[in-house]
Amino acid sequence: MPQPFLSSEEFDERAHQFYNEGRYDEALAMLREGLALYPNAVELHIGVGYARLARDEFAWARQSFEEALILDPEHEDALAGLGETLLKFGLQAQAVKAFYRTLELGYQDDIDLMLQCGRALFRDGLLDDAQTFIDVVIQQLPEHAEAVALLGYIQHRRGEDEAAVKSLRRALRLDEEFSEARIYLGNLLYDRSEYEAALYHLDRTVPEDHWDELAIWRLIELKKSVHRVEDADPQLRPWVDRIGELQGESDALDELLGDIEQRANDDAEREAQQQLELFAHLLGSLAGAPSAQEHSVVTNDGRRYEGTWEEVVLQLQRHSTATPTRTMHEFMQQEARRGFALTGILIPTGDAESFIRGSADAGLLRLLD
Following DSSP, what letter does each residue of 333-364 receive, concatenated?
Answer: HHHHHHHHHHHSPPPP-SSHHHHHHHHHHTTS
Burial of 8 (0-12, 13-18, 19+ CB in 10 A): middle
Tell me, what's the pLDDT at 289?
A: 46
Give the residue ranges of DSSP H helices in 105-160: 111-123, 127-140, 145-157
* CB of 314 closer than 8 Å to CB of 300: no
Tell me, what's the pLDDT at 351?
A: 85
Q: Please state, in angstroms and rounded to a whole number, the distance separating the CA atoms of residues 150 and 101.
A: 21
Q: Please state, in angstroms and rounded to a whole number, the distance separating the CA atoms of residues 304 and 127.
A: 29
Query: Could you state, in order of their start, the residue ranges of all structural domains in the chain?
Result: 253-367
Q: What is the DSSP string of 145-171?
A: HHHHHHHHHHHHHTT-HHHHHHHHHHH
Tell me, what's the pLDDT at 356?
A: 92
* CB of 47 closer than 8 Å to CB of 27: yes
Per-residue pLDDT of the chain (369 residues; tens, 9 = 90+): 455 578 888 898 999 999 888 898 999 999 999 999 999 999 999 999 999 999 989 999 999 999 999 999 999 999 999 999 999 999 999 999 999 999 999 999 999 999 999 999 999 999 999 999 999 999 999 999 999 999 999 999 999 999 999 999 999 999 999 999 999 999 999 999 899 999 999 999 999 999 888 899 999 999 988 888 888 888 899 998 998 888 775 454 555 555 555 554 444 444 545 555 555 555 555 554 445 688 999 988 788 999 999 989 988 888 876 666 667 887 888 888 777 767 767 788 878 898 999 899 888 898 887
Total Cβ atoms within 10 A of residue 325: 15
Tell me, what's the pLDDT at 333?
A: 81
**Spatial CB neighbours of 150, under 8 Å, sequence gap ≥ 6:** 115, 118, 119, 122, 130, 134
First to last CA, the chain: 65
Hey, what amino acid is at 81?
G
Q: Please state, in angstroms and rounded to a whole number, the distance separating the CA atoms of residues 330 and 335.
A: 9
Burial of 149 (0-12, 13-18, 19+ CB in 10 A): buried
Total Cβ atoms within 10 A of residue 270: 18
Distances (CA, A) of 341 to 70, 299, 316: 35, 18, 19
Tell me, what's the pLDDT at 5?
A: 73
β-bridge mates for residue 296, sequence order = 306
* CB of 32 closer than 8 Å to CB of 8: no
